[in-house]
Amino acid sequence: MFGWYRDLSRHERRAFLVCYGGWTLDALDAQMYALVIPALLASWHISRYEAGSVAGASLAASAVGGWLAGTLADRWGRVRILQITVGWFAVFSLLSAGAQNFQHLFFYRTVQGLGFGGEWTAGTVLLAELVPAYVRGRALGTLQSGWAIGWGGAVLCSTAVFAVLPQHLAWRALFAMGFLPALLLLYIQRSLGGSSFPVSRGSSGSRPRPASMMEIFSPQTLRTTLLAALLGLGAHGGYYALTVWLPTWMLNVRHLSVINMSAYLGVIILFFGLGCLGAASLLDRLGRRRTIVLFSAGCALMIAVYLLAPIGSAAMFCLGAPLGFFSAGIPACMGTLFSELFPAGMRGSGVGFCYNFGRFASAGLPVLVGELAGRIRLSLAIGSVAVSAYLLVALSVLALPETRRRVLPL
C-alpha cells in the first residue's frame, strides 16, 4: 500500500512529511471546536445558532485565506506561504484559548480561518507538483488521512482534558493545544528552507508567469472553475454539516456519555483514515471521477441510515465504520483532481479558489443545521443538508474531465 513512498526522492519525502504534519495539526485544532460546543453552550449560555455561526465564520475566512494563499504561492513560492499560514494558524488558536466572551472567540476563530485555508492550499500544490504523476493520487490521498490522525488526537485530548478539568477551563486548554503547529515551522525551515530544495515550484524550480486571481474565470477555464467549485461546495458542505453537529447529536439526541461518545467517534475516525487510504489507492486505479462518485453515493446512503433509521446503539456503533470510510473518500480526492485541472501559472489560485469556495459557501450549512434544528429534529436537519450536499458532488464531478496520470507542466 505504501510502496509508492519508497519510490520518492529524499526531497519529495520531506515535502510529504511536512504537508502531512501540517494537515494533521490543523485537523487537531479544527475538530476541537466541534467537541467543545456542548461546553460553550453551557458555559456562556449561547444558542445553537450562535455556536454554529462561529464554525461558519471560520469556514468562510478559510475560503478567503485559501484563495489568497494559492495566488500568493504562484507568485512567492509554495514553501514561503506554507510557513506563513502555519504560523498564523497557531497564533490565533492560542488567542482563542484566552477569549473572554463570545465576541472575542468569534473574532479569533474567524481570523484563524485565514491560515487554516491557506495551509492546505500551499501544501497540496507543492506536493502535487513534486511527486510523479503515477503516484499523485496515492500521495495526496494519503496526505488527507492526516485529518483522521488529528481528529482522533482531538477526541483523545478532549476526553482526557474534560475528565480532569471543569468544562469552563477544559475548552480553553484544548484550544491552547492549537499552538502546536508553530513547532512545525522549525521543521519546515530546516528541511525545506535550504537552497537545495525547490522552494518555489516543482522539481525544476521554474517560474512561469503567475496569473492574476481572476484569470481562473477566463473563458478558457471558467467552466472548469465553476464545476470544481460546486464539487468543493458539496464536499465541504456535507462533511461540515455532519461533523460539526455530530458530537452534539450523540450527546443530546442519543444521550451518550462523553466517554461513550468518544468510543463511537473513535470508530468513525479510524475508518475515516482507512477511507482516505482506500480512496488514494482507487484514484490511481479507477480514476478520479469514478472514485468520487462511488464515495459520494456511499456517504449519502450511510448518513441517511446512521441518522434517520431506527437503529439501536450496537448497530449505530458498527455503522460508524462505513460512515467514516465513505466520508473520507471525497476529501482525499479533491487535492489531486483540482491540481490536475489547472495550468502552472494559475494552479495555486485555481486549487485555492475551488477548494475554498466550497468552504466559504458551505460556511452557512452548520448555521443552517442549527437553524433547522429549532424547527425539526436535529437528526433530520443534519441528514437532509448533508445528503443534498453529497448529491451535488456526484453531479459536479460527472461533468468534469478525467485527469488520471495527467502530467503537470511546471
Identify which of 127, 71, 69, 118 has the alpha carbon closest to the alpha carbon of residue 92.
118
pLDDT digits (tens, 9 = 90+) for 251-289: 888 878 777 887 888 888 889 889 888 998 898 888 899
For residue 34, the SS3 value is: helix
Query: Cβ distance 37 to 248 under 8 Å?
Result: yes
Has residue 317 got a pLDDT over 80?
yes
Read off the pLDDT of residues 350-364 as tens digits, 9 standing for 90 and up.
Answer: 888 888 888 778 777
Cell of 393: 458532488
Range with top average pLDDT, 34-38, 157-161, 402-406 = 157-161
- Asked if residue 120 has pLDDT above 90, the reply is no
Q: Distance (Å, rounded) from C-alpha 240 to C-alpha 359?
A: 9
CATH architecture group of domain 9-190+215-398: Up-down Bundle (1.20)
Q: Which residues have CB under 8 Å from 12's CB, separation 6+?
A: 130, 131
Q: Are 118 and 85 in contact (CB under 8 A)?
A: yes
Q: For the chain, give the percent of residues with pLDDT over 90.
A: 16
What pTM was computed for the model? 0.77
Contact 16, 143 (CB under 8 A): yes
CA 330 to chain CA mean position, Å: 10
